[in-house]
Structure 1
């Protein structure tokens, strides 16, 4: 799994940072990409990457402020021109579907693929055999959701030598054991998968939070997560402004990660008031509270290998 930050700015684009968009690359896990938010010019940012829009399977919108959604109609349109045929599922707050459909209709935009809309409420918004996604309301000036993406436990490694020693022939039966199925040999002997596979491994947990001031739901979503992505629109010197605008400081984001016992914190949604020379200070302040803190820039990629952040 890899997080590719396409836009890390707050409010409006700047020369250094585009508006909000994060691609979660699940190419090894399911051959697709999930997108979280789609600010203005997200598709232009994608042009500078290896991301193929037709590979985008799901788009999760945190809230309906323009810096998180103004790029969505354009991306949906371009996905048709770029070979998109598979269903795209779009998750977001009430009102998202009507806005997108009205925009596409008024502009005469024809799509070559169907869109499935899911109106997000608190709870489980998606689940299959691989993943489960939880959503909770955060504390912003309009309804805004944070998402917790949990990969379900991975099947344990097949203990090949042990299986062969028990008389399992090479071939399809080994595959069944690896998939957790018990088998019967020609002799009538039953070989149990649990006897010839290592214990299941925990999958990863990634929490991606939308705009929010410091709140308990952010901590709940981030509990023991391998990666927490949290906004840091303000800093320690502007704490008095953060809550009134429905935003958080770098210190508050670090506190969320610390209280949640998370493993890594990535700060984004950085205000244009912070220039390049301010970023080091932002990072240093946060690391006093939570040492495993990083700040994303546009184009930054963070890969999770096993449980290690690269």
Structure 2
């Protein structure tokens, strides 16, 4: 699971930061999922190492322009390129009507299946590998945060040990890999768990923007390996954050701390903290780290490989 930030500015783009969009690449299934699609997102994808042809799902948090103005252009490009099999879009009420109107007035017709799903709090998508759920945040209009959970997998099957035990290959191996208990033809009872390594704990990602500090964000981020959270304002501008229902750096850090998240990556920064101003982005990072040390600050094209829990344990142990 690889996260790539395609836009990290709030409201309007700057020379160095585009507006909101985050890509989640799933190499094991040659898919890319997109979270929000601000204006210019397709240009950012083209500039990155991501492939538009792998786009399969888009999750929209809310209907503000800096999160959706790039959606219609991206979908049109997918149709003209002709290399997308199907796209499912998830988002709040009004999203389908918006796309239908844009399609009608621009005379755009899609050459691939496109389905819009209106989300409600709870599970909105599930397959054999992943579960995606959403929850309400607190913003000026209905806004949803998303939680992606990779399902746990059985540990690596020890084929050599199975051969030593003279267990016949074939269907039985499949049963043992799944951790099942099997009775062999000679009467021996084999517990598959004894032939498998430790269970691989599935990774968890939470995406929360736009919102002021709220319980909904903490719930979505519970035990997340990575929490992606907006940090539009510095702590000194908390009054403005409450007025506009956006988060400060300290709110983002408190969300991560309260949720027991393992890492926080902040995004959606106000252009007011540009270099040379009294408060700069580096100051925002220090504010968050004072509360939650494992905090990073995203920038456009920043890529983060989400490690498995086992990998993190080995790194800590110096293995």
Please name the residue that 1:27 is paired with.
Answer: 27
Query: CA–CA distance in 2 between the matches of 1:185 and 1:117?
Result: 50
TM-score, with length taken from structure 1? 0.94
Cα deviation for residue 162 of structure 1 reads: 2.3
Q: For 1:177-196, what aligned pairs fall within 5 Å after superposition?
A: 177-180=176-179, 187=186, 191-196=190-195
- Uncovered stretches (5+) of structure 1, i.e. residues with no partner: none
What is the deviation of 1:191? 4.1
Deviation sequence 1:239-292 (CA, Å, 0-9, x none): 110011010100110011011111100000001111146121111111000000
Matched with 2:290 is: 288
Alignment gaps of 5+ in structure 2: none
Q: Which residue of 1 aligns with 2:151?
A: 152
CA distance in 2, matches of 1:78, 1:234: 34
Aligned to 2:3: 3
Residue in structure 1 matched with residue 130 of structure 2 by the alignment: 131
Equivalenced residues, count: 309
Contact residue 201 and residue 308 of structure 2 kept, 8 A: no
Aligned to 2:113: 114
Q: Distance in 2 between matches of 1:199 and 1:254?
A: 32
Q: d(CA) in 1 for partners of 2:60 and 2:306?
A: 23
Assess if the C-alpha contact under 8 Å between 2:24 and 2:32 holds in 1: yes
Partner of 2:299: 297
Q: Does 1:78 align with 2:77?
A: yes
SS across alignment from 1:103: helix
| Separation in structure 1 between the aligned mates of residue 84 and residue 283 of structure 2, nearest angstrom | 46
Local SS of the residue matching 1:233: coil
Aligned residue among 279, 282, 299 for 2:281: 279
Counterpart check, 1:54 vs 2:56: no
SS in 1 for 2:239: helix
Q: TM-score, normalised by structure 2?
A: 0.91
- The answer on whether the counterparts of 1:124 and 1:135 sit within 8 Å (CA) in structure 2 is yes
Aligned-partner Cα distance in 1 for 2:221–2:38:
23
* Greater mean alpha carbon deviation, residues 177-186 or residues 33-42: 177-186
Q: Deviations over 1:39-90 (max 9, x none)?
A: 0000001111121112111100000000000000010011122333422110
**1-side partners of 2:162 and 2:30: how far apart?**
30
Q: Distance in 2 between matches of 1:175 and 1:263?
A: 34
The answer as to whether partners of 1:84 and 1:112 remain within 8 angstroms in 2 is no
Q: 1:146 aligns to what SS in structure 2?
A: strand
User: 1 or 2, which has the higher helix percentage?
Assistant: 2
**Aligned Cα RMSD in Å?**
1.9
Q: Distance in 1 between matches of 2:256 and 2:142?
A: 22
Aligned in 2, Cα 1:190/1:116: closer, same or farther, shift over 3 Å? farther
Decide which moves more: 187-196 or 275-284: 187-196
Question: How far did residue 224 of structure 1 move?
Answer: 1.1
1:37-52 → structure 2 map (5 Å cutoff):
37-52=36-51
SS across alignment from 1:291: coil
- Correspondence for 1:200: 199
Map 1:256-275 onto structure 2 (within 5 A). 256-275=255-274
